[in-house]
C-alpha cells in the first residue's frame, strides 16, 4: 500500500458535534479476555482502528473464530480452540498491547512463547511488572534470543496475593485475567485503576468471576476455571474526546463531543479551567463554554489515573502555545514522549527542553504550517491539530501511526469544517 499523508490548510474554525467511538485501550484488552472462555463473547462499540484489526488478526491466526460487523462496530469472538504455536510473530512485534495475551493464553494453554511486543517509540517500557505478577501466580519465565517463554508448573497456577512493582496498566490487566481464570481468591495490590481497567474487571465478572475494588489500588478477584461467554460494550474513548475538544479550542470554534464519560476526564477538565476554559457537561455530551481568545499558562504533570494521562500531555503542550505566560509540562513516565516538540519548534512554537521529562512552553505564539512526521499515535494527533491551528499548509507523514488509535480522524475533522485531505505519495 502506498504511503499516505495528511495535507492540511489551517485557519478554518471548527464547529459542530462529533460522536466518540469505543476506546482503543479498552477494546484491545476486552478482546484478549475473550480467550479465557470457549464460549461466544460479543463486544459492542469496537473502534475501527488498525490496532484492533491487528489484534483480531492475531486471534484468527491462533484458530479463534472472529466475526465482524464493522458498520455496527460489533465483534463476535469464540475461542473454542486455540493453538498457541501459531502466534504471528510480526503482528505481535508491531502491537504493544499484545502483551495482554500472556495472561489468558497461559490460563488456557499452559505455556506461551511470545516475542517482545512492539508499539509506539515513546521510551523504555520494561515488562518487569508483568514478569513479577506471573511469577507470583507460580509461572516460570525463561528468555532466549528475542522470545519470552512462560510455563505453568505441574501443580498449575495458583491464586495468590500479587503485589505489582508499579502502577502498570497492562500488568494489572494481565493479573486480573489470570486471577479470573483460577479457583480461589487473589488480591492485586499497586493496581492501576484507569477506567478501561475497571471495564475489564466488569467484563470478567460478567464472564463468571467476581472482580471488585477492595481498597486504594487493590482488586480482589474470586476466579473460576470455567468462565462463560458474555456481551459487553466498549466505553467511549476519553483520549479521542479530549482531542476533539482541543481541536475546537485551538481553532476558536465550538465542538460538542458525545459518547464519552466526562468523569474519565475530571483532572484534564480542571487543568483546562486553570487555563480559562470552562467545560459544560450535559449527560454524556460536553463542550467548551465561551473560551477566552487567549488562554492562561498552567502546569501539567502526567500521572496514573485519576491524573492527567501521559497520552494527553502533548495536547496540553500544544494548547500552551496559545496561552499567556510559561507553562511547565512534566511527563515522568516516558523519556521519548516529547519527540513531537521538535516538530512544533519548526512551526514557530517557543518550547524549551528542561530535561528528558520536562519542557517549558512560552506563549502565545503563532504557528506556521511545515512538512512534519508523526512518530506515535498521540504525537501524530497533536501535529494534526497544530496544522489546523497554523497558518498556511501542513503536510504530515506517518499517518499509519495515527490510524492505529483514531478512527477516520481526517473524515471526522472534515465534518467539523477542517480543510484536511488524505493523500498518497
Residue 144 is assigned to a ligand binding site: no
Catalytic residue among 120, 331, 376, 397: 120
Measured between alpha carbons, how far is 258 from 261 in angstroms, rounded to an integer? 9
Q: Is the dihedral of CA 132, 133, 134, 135 positive or negative?
A: positive
Cell 498457541: give the residue.
Answer: 84
Active site residue 120: yes
Nearest to 207 by CA among 188, 189, 231, 190: 231
Q: Is the peptide bond before 181 cis (omega within 30 degrees of 0)?
A: no
The per-residue b/e assignment along 386-401, b for 16 or more CB within 10 angstroms, e otherwise, is bbbbbeeebebbbbeb
In whole angstroms, give the CA distance from residue 47 to residue 185. Answer: 33
Task: Please state, as a whole number, how many other Cβ atoms lie within 10 Å of the Cβ of residue 136.
Answer: 19
Question: For 146-188, where are the alpha helices, taking DSSP H only?
Answer: 169-180
Cβ neighbour number for residue 108 with a 10 Å cutoff: 18
Contact of 200 with 366, CB cutoff 8 Å: no
Concatenate the DSSP letters of all residues of 229-241 into one string: --EEEPPB-HHHH
**DSSP conformational letter for 357:** T
Query: Was 264 annotated as part of a binding site?
Result: no
On whether 96 is known to bind a ligand per the annotation, the reply is: yes
Pairing of strands 15-19, 285-289: unpaired
Q: Say if residue 350 carries a ligand binding annotation.
A: no
Residue 155 marked in a binding site:
no
Q: 359: closest CA among 376, 395, 394, 335?
A: 335
- Are 14 and 247 in contact by the 8 Å Cβ rule? The answer is yes
Q: Which three cell numbers stand for residue 338?
A: 516529547
Q: Which residues are annotated as a binding site for phosphoenolpyruvate?
A: 24-25
Q: Which residues are annotated as a binding site for UDP-N-acetyl-alpha-D-glucosamine?
A: 96, 311, 333
Q: Which residues are marked as active site?
A: 120
Amino acid at each position: 500500500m502506498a504511503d499516505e499523508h495528511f495535507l492540511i490548510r489551517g485557519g478554518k474554525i471548527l464547529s459542530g458535534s462529533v460522536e466518540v467511538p469505543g476506546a482503543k485501550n479498552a477494546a484491545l484488552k476486552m478482546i484478549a479476555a475473550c480467550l479465557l472462555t470457549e464460549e461466544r463473547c460479543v463486544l459492542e462499540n469496537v473502534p475501527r482502528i488498525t490496532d484492533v484489526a491487528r489484534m483480531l488478526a492475531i486471534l484468527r491466526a491462533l484458530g479463534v473464530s472472529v466475526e465482524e460487523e464493522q458498520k455496527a462496530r460489533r465483534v463476535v469472538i469464540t475461542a473454542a480452540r486455540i493453538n498457541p504455536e501459531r502466534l504471528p510473530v510480526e503482528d505481535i512485534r508491531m502491537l504493544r498491547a499484545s502483551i495482554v495475551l500472556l495472561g489468558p493464553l497461559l490460563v488456557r494453554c499452559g505455556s506461551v512463547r511470545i516475542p517482545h511486543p512492539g508499539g509506539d517509540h515513546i521510551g523504555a517500557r520494561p515488562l518487569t511488572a508483568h514478569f513479577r505478577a506471573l511469577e507470583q501466580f507460580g509461572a516460570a519465565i525463561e528468555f532466549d534470543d528475542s522470545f519470552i517463554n512462560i510455563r505453568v508448573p505441574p501443580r498449575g497456577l495458583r491464586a495468590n496475593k500479587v503485589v505489582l512493582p508499579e502502577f502498570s496498566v497492562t500488568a494489572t490487566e494481565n493479573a486480573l485475567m489470570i486471577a479470573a481464570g483460577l479457583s480461589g481468591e487473589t488480591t492485586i495490590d499497586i493496581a492501576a485503576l484507569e477506567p478501561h481497567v475497571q471495564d475489564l474487571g466488569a467484563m470478567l465478572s460478567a464472564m463468571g468471576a467476581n472482580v471488585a475494588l477492595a481498597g486504594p489500588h487493590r482488586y480482589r478477584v474470586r476466579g473460576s476455571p470455567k468462565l462463560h461467554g458474555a456481551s459487553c460494550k466498549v466505553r467511549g474513548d476519553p483520549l479521542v474526546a479530549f482531542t476533539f475538544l482541543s481541536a475546537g479550542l485551538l481553532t476558536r470554534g465550538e465542538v460538542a463531543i458525545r459518547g464519552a464519560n466526562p468523569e474519565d476526564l475530571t483532572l484534564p477538565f480542571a487543568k483546562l479551567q486553570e487555563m480559562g476554559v470552562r467545560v459544560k457537561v450535559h449527560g454524556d455530551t460536553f463542550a467548551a463554554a465561551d473560551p477566552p481568545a487567549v488562554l492562561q499558562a498552567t502546569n501539567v504533570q502526567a500521572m496514573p489515573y485519576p491524573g492527567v494521562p501521559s497520552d494527553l500531555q502533548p495536547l496540553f503542550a500544544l494548547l500552551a502555545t496559545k496561552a499567556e505566560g510559561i507553562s511547565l509540562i512534566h511527563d515522568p513516565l516516558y523519556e521519548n514522549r516529547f519527540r513531537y516538540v521538535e516538530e512544533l519548534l519548526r512551526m514557530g512554537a517557543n518550547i524549551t527542553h528542561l530535561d528528558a521529562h520536562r519542557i517549558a512552553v512560552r506563549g502565545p505564539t503563532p504557528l506556521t504550517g511545515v512538512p512534519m512526521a508523526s512518530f506515535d499515535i498521540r504525537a501524530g494527533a497533536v501535529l494534526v491539530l497544530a496544522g489546523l491551528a497554523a497558518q498556511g499548509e501542513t503536510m504530515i507523514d506517518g499517518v499509519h501511526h495515527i490510524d492505529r488509535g483514531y478512527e477516520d480522524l481526517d473524515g471526522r475533522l472534515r465534518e467539523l469544517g477542517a480543510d484536511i485531505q488524505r493523500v498518497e505519495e
